Amino acid sequence: MRFFCFALVQKTTLFFLITLLQFFATPVLAFQQQERTIKGKITDENKAPLANVSVTLQGSSKSVMTDPDGNFEIIVPSAKAVLQITSVGYVAKEIAVGSQTTITVALTLTSKQLSDVVVTGYGKTSKRNITGSVTSISSENFNQVVTGSPTQLLQGKVPGLNIARSGDPNIKPTVILRGPSTLRDGANEPFYVIDGVPGAALELVAPTDIVSIDVLKDASSTAIYGSRAANGVIMVTTRRAKQGQTILTYNPYVAFEKVANQIDMLTGDELRDYLSQNGQTLLSQYNDSGANTNWQKEVMRPTGVSHNHNLAINGSQGNTLFGASINYFDNQGIVKISRLKRVTARGNLESKFFNERLKLGISITNSTTRHNDVDQGALFNNMLTYMPTVNVRRPDGSFTEDFSRGGYLNPVGILANNVLKSKEEKTLLTGLAEVKILKGLVYTLSISGQKEQTTRDIYYNASSGQAVGANGRAYRSNFENTKQVIESYFNYDRSWGQHNIKLLGGYSWQQDRIGDGFGISTQGYTNDLLTYYNYAVSNPFTVGNVRFDNAIISTLRLISFYGRINYQYDDKYLLQVSLRNDGSSAFGKNNRWGYFPAVSAGWRITRESFMAGQKIFDELKLRAGYGVSGNSLGFDAFTSIVRYGLGGKFYLNGNYQTGLLPVQNDNRDLKWESTAMTNIGLDFAIFNNKVSGSIDYYIKNTSDLIYNYPVSTTQYFVSTMTANVGKVKNTGIELTLTAIPVSTKGFTWTTSANLAHNKNEVTSLANDKFPSLTVIPTAYLGGKGQTNVWSQVIREGEPLGTFSLWHYAGKNDAGTSTFLTADGKVIASQPSTNDLMIAGNAQPKLMFGWNNSFTYKNFDLNFFLRGVTGNKILNNTLAQLNNPADSKTLNIPKFTLGESYKDNIAYLTSDRFLEDGSYIRMDNATLGYSLNAKVKYISKMRFYLSTNNLFTITGYRGIDPEISIGGLTPGPGIDAKNFYPKTRSFIFGANLMF
């Protein structure tokens, strides 16, 4: 039996080997007989050559790119070969080779309104199938700016998206979508999703690595992310390899930045003249003979030099895609010492198995950021007010200082004697598995872990005015935060007849652990050599000189179940329904779970039979949607429970013990803020897609506002409770319009504009539990005699950022400022808080942006303007500087030269300093030139010159009218000595592709 089996195996094996040999030999011989070289040229509709077009042999990994003249060569195996021709922004084509040896193909532009791929929650779709309000910006339309924050790429490009940036490289921009809708600082920020990972840190992505950003604006689009999506969702997609391509890119730039604007302060001579004219003289210690020190100039760099380098490779080998990039960004702040350095490294690998039924992927990103900062509170005040009549240093080389005046410090000494550094290291590891179970049914599992470690180091040396007598003071902290996310979901897609249905069902689990670390400070060093490195050598005078941070570790969990149905009929009628059920450990036991539903529909009117004969509309789609989403930003595991804090010392058993007292009341009914939004929109494209755009109208109602409301201490331990009470309403209209006025063989002009109007209103601050609260005073800016005076109020019927100020009534005959009281009297003294009056608000009535792109042969030119109108800014910086009597001991602005020296209340914060915040800014202008690369291995060479913040047209007297419109600290639209100077930058860069 064994021998019989063996013989059978021999025969079977021999037969198999002969068959296998024939199987492989036949196509090889055929290939040898029929393979040939195909030459071709790819052009656009106007016969202009197209470079970097991908020509791929269908069914293989063989692919080539066209050269700058649009030419290509590719070897095909037989006449049956099919070439796939693809290029971003053009309709893909498939060409059967047949007997041809030379092929010429003209590609047509895609209709952006119809064909753009939009990234949505847990999937992608084309623009034509979107039923919500979504704005997509591709990399070629990003702002060319010196930044480490991807959000600045969108500034002015997305209607309804307000981005306010500081000139400080270490400060993130503030981002608000469709108006502020919360009372909490830092809680207006949209929710970010990076390559499908929810809540990933933006610092993990270098702007150059981003290929597109999709902004989901209405609740029908965002509700799939539930309790985190009330402020909108921003989807970031990074560059990935494409099948059949291996591309190496290098994108460097260097930028030179100069101060765009400064506050005009008096020179030393001007201050001496002013005092002399008013019968005053300088104190001797503030009068160095002939000194004219410009302190703003002393602390600023003449030119800040920044540079960025991005090197990336993306390629494929068979069924495997791979990519890697490294980005180095060095942003030198215009204020001396200040700087940001960041190194970002990314790697990803994706491979398909089992006839492409299984896809496995892994990606890792690491970002290391180093910050050099300055004590801005001390520096910016003193660089304006420090006497210009003294020199920077005394004859002995020491800084000219007067420590007897608390807070009055030499600005250059602040820079020289203090070190403020920090380091952030963030790592994101993501694993992905995707299985095609049945036709149309795909299961996806994504597991990601993010780790963030922050180290902060501060040292005030023995000469520092901020640690007088401490003989050196050091502080060091190290904290670690981690985030773990699991996303598990099914997608099902089926079409039959004129019907198409897509189903999504999934489960999400997230755990955030924050605050794991310590912070410690000490003082008393023999010398300054070790700074903050070795605390053991310090000699604190008392135990109290050694302090520890009150570090609180918390673990927050979020569990979710979600589902979505998309239905299409005849590519004409669209319907989307979604529901998410979120559970969060941050909220009270009675409200830890919540439902977030959404429904939207679309009607593609141009698909109707009655539109068949018309020649105006290429696309006309009506959209309508309603949904509910939540806001849990800024909450931790202890938000809803009783929390204890340090309560002094007590004596027990011969020792002093640290006491604990309640510092926070519990609230078992606390839940997330909820935003219900209705959105109605119209998408259109006309004149053969030469003009396209969209119009959206929305009503955004936010309820259950979270705030620390006052409560009676006869019922509670603490005088405030974190509770849900108020309501805010935002209503608005948005318009986006894109046109191609000129498109010829050698010249193209594309223009696009966007407009956004939003009306904000606080509709309620009370409920059954808190019935008496109708107004909340905010923005206590302080100043001489104004410690308990507020400048803004939150009041029912008024928008957030409503100013409450004294009304300036001009000067009396003595030149003294006068003010109007509540009973109609005009007084020449400081009014009371009863005399404060509503004086306008910080919310703009209109935001707009206008972009123009021109191409002529190898040249490209782009310029972009943006602005706002209808808002007010409180110039509290100027108000607090405007005190003539200060001029004997502090510098004053040139504005004060118009004041009477006897006006001792000219500095009072009143509507005299409430200014129009409207502006138009030439935000960017870029001129580029693409070389016809003659080098074999170079497929693209483009060089460009760009300038940012070229000019600003405004009537605002402060440094810059771009002020945040959200938050309560210091308050929307308030310029309160927050004047890290904005810069004007000139950028030289290149885009190289190999």
In percent, the amount of the chain with pLDDT more than 90 equals: 66
The most confident of 101-105, 710-714, 906-910, by mean pLDDT: 906-910
The pLDDT, as a whole number, for residue 550 is 85
pLDDT at 142 over 60: yes
Inform me whether the pLDDT recorded for 245 exceeds 50: yes
- CB-based burial of residue 690 (10 Å sphere; 0-12 exposed, 13-18 middle, 19+ buried)? middle
Per-residue pLDDT tens over the stretch 441-479: 999 999 999 999 999 999 999 999 999 999 999 999 999
Q: For residue 606, is pLDDT > 70?
A: yes
What is the DSSP pairing of strand 775-778 with strand 817-820? unpaired
**pLDDT, tens digit, 9 for 90 and up, residues 391-428:** 999 999 999 999 988 889 999 999 999 999 999 999 99
Q: Would 239 be classed as within a structural domain?
A: no
Residues 100-104 have a mean pLDDT of 88
Indicate whether 200 pLDDT > 80: yes
Structure confidence by residue, pLDDT tens digits, 282-335: 888 888 878 999 999 999 999 999 999 999 999 988 889 999 999 999 999 999
pLDDT at 621 over 70: yes
Mean pLDDT of 840-846: 95
Cα 805 from Cα 792, distance rounded (Å): 8
Q: Which amino acid is at 461?
A: N
Q: If we measure between CA atoms, which residue out of 176, 215, 254 comes closest to residue 758?
A: 176
Provide φ and ψ at 355, rounded to 5°.
Answer: 60, 40
Q: Is the pLDDT of residue 19 over 50?
A: no
| Helix and strand counts by DSSP (H, E) for the chain | 8, 51
For 728: left if phi > 0, alpha if psi spans -120 to 50, otherwise beta; the answer is: beta
- Residue 78's contacts (CB-CB under 8 Å, 6 or more residues apart) are 30, 31, 34, 35
Residues 6 or more apart from 293 whose CB is under 8 A from it?
Answer: 268, 386, 388, 389, 390, 391, 392
Q: Residue 127's pLDDT is what? A: 82
pLDDT bin (cut points 50, 70, 90) of residue 121 is confident
Mean pLDDT of 693-710: 94
Q: What is the torsion angle, in degrees rounded to the nearest 10, for the CA atoms of residue 212, residue 105, residue 91 and residue 84?
A: -80
Tokens 């840190």 belong to 201
- Gap between the Cα atoms of 381 and 747, Å rounded: 52
Which burial class, exposed, middle or buried, applies to 42 when counting CB atoms under 10 A from its CB (0-12, 13-18, 19+)? Answer: buried
Give residue 116's pLDDT.
64
* More reliable by pLDDT, 178 or 117: 178
- Determine the average pLDDT of the residues in 101-105: 88
Q: What band does 12 get if pLDDT is binned at 50, 70 and 90? A: very low
Residue with tokens 């259950």: 704
Residue 17 has pLDDT above 60, yes or no: no
Mapping DSSP to helix (H, G, I), strand (E, B) and coil, where does residue 203 land? Answer: helix
Which stretch of DSSP H or E encloses residue 315? strand 304-317
- Please spell the DSSP secondary structure of 145-188, one letter per residue: -S-S-GGGGGTTTSTTEEEE--S-TTSPPEEEESS---SSTT--
Q: What CA–CA distances, in Å, run from 770 to 591, 709, 729, 776?
A: 19, 8, 20, 13
Q: Give the structural domain span for 10.
A: 1-34
| Per-residue pLDDT, 951 | 94
CA distance 991 to 942: 5
Q: Which pLDDT belongs to residue 635?
A: 81
Specify if 22 maps to a domain: yes
pLDDT at 414: 96
DSSP state, residue 771: -
The pLDDT tens digits for 550-605 are: 888 999 999 999 999 999 998 899 999 999 999 999 899 999 999 999 999 999 99
Return the pLDDT at 88: 56
> For the segment 65-100, what is each residue's pLDDT rounded down to a tens digit?
888 778 999 998 888 888 888 875 567 788 888 888
Query: Is 23 inside a domain boundary?
Result: yes
Task: Measure Cα distances from 424 to 178, 309, 456, 534 in Å.
Answer: 31, 20, 9, 21
Whether 348 maps to a domain, the answer reads no
Residues 362-399 have pLDDT tens digits of 999 999 999 999 999 899 999 999 999 999 999 999 99
**Interior/surface letters 576-600, b for 16+ CB within 10 angstroms, e for the rest:** bbbbbbbebbbbbeebbebebbbbb
Distance CA 247, CA 241 (A): 8
- pLDDT at site 670: 93
Copy the structure tokens of residue 880.
Answer: 């607090």
Local confidence band at 54 (pLDDT 50, 70, 90 cut-offs): confident
* pLDDT tens digit sequence for 828-842: 999 999 999 999 999
Tens digits of residue pLDDT in 25-38? 333 333 344 688 89
The answer to whether residue 29 is domain-embedded is yes
Residue 968 has pLDDT above 60, yes or no: yes
Residue 21: inside a domain: yes
* Percent of the chain with pLDDT strictly greater than 70: 95
pLDDT score, position 613 = 80
Number of domains in the chain: 1
The whole-number pLDDT of residue 252 equals 96
Q: How far apart are CA 149 and CA 155, in angstroms?
A: 11
pLDDT in tens, 735-787: 999 999 998 888 999 999 999 999 999 999 988 888 878 899 999 998 888 99
- Residue 979 is predicted with a pLDDT of 76
Q: Closest by alpha carbon to 142, among 944, 993, 968?
A: 944
The pLDDT confidence band at residue 114, using thresholds 50, 70 and 90, is very low
Cβ(66)–Cβ(72) below 8 Å: yes
Cα→Cα distances 808→323, 817, 910, Å: 63, 7, 6
Q: How far apart are the first and last CA of the chain?
A: 64
Q: In the predicted model, what is the mean pLDDT of residues 121-133?
A: 87
Give the position of tokens 């506002």.
705
- Residue 916 domain-assigned (yes or no): no
479-510 tens-digit pLDDT: 999 999 999 999 999 999 899 999 999 999 99
What's the confidence (pLDDT) of residue 28?
38
In the numeric block, the tokens 């053991």 are attached to: 536
Residue 3 lies in a domain: yes
- pLDDT band at residue 24 using 50, 70 and 90 as cut-offs: very low
Return mean pLDDT, the chain.
89
The reported pLDDT for the residue numbered 31 is 37
Is the pLDDT assigned to residue 118 strictly greater than 90?
A: no
User: How far is Cα 506 from Cα 123, in angstroms, rounded to an integer?
Assistant: 12
Q: Which residues contact 632 (CB under 8 A, 6 or more apart)?
A: 227, 228, 584, 586, 587, 672, 673
792-807 average pLDDT score? 96
Looking at residue 938, its pLDDT comes to: 83
